[in-house]
Amino acid sequence: MNSVATQRARVSAPELDVLRGIAAVLMILNHAGFRLLSGTDASTSPSAVAVFLGGFAPVVFFFATGFGVALSTRASAGVVNMRSVLWKAALLVVADQWFYWRHGVAGGFDFFGFIALASVTVTVIASRRRPVLICLSLALALLALRYAVGPLLRSSMSEFAIWNWVTGVQAVEHVSYPLSPWMVYPLLGFALGWFYEPIHTLAPGLRLRLYVRGAVCAIGFGGLSLVLALVFKSSFFRWGMVSAGFLVLSLGVLMAATLVAWWLSVSHPKLASGVALRGVASFAVIPIHYAMLDLCEMLLPLPVAQWAYALLAAGIIVSAFFLSSRFSTFVSGISNPTFRRSMVPMLLAALVALSLGVIAGVTRNAAAIALMTLLAQLLVAALLGIKPQAAQRSAVLPA
Q: For residue 120, what pLDDT is reported? A: 97
Q: For residue 397, what pLDDT is reported? A: 52
Q: For residue 8, what pLDDT is reported? A: 43
Q: For residue 37, what pLDDT is reported? A: 98
In a domain, 397, yes or no: no
How many Å from the N-terminal Cα to the C-terminal Cα in the chain? 29
Q: What is the pTM of this model?
A: 0.93
**Segments forming the whole domain that contains residue 323:** 3-391
The parts of the chain modelled with pLDDT lower than 70 are 1-11, 78, 338, 387-399
Q: For residue 135, what pLDDT is reported? A: 98
Number of domains in the chain: 1
Q: For residue 390, what pLDDT is reported? A: 41
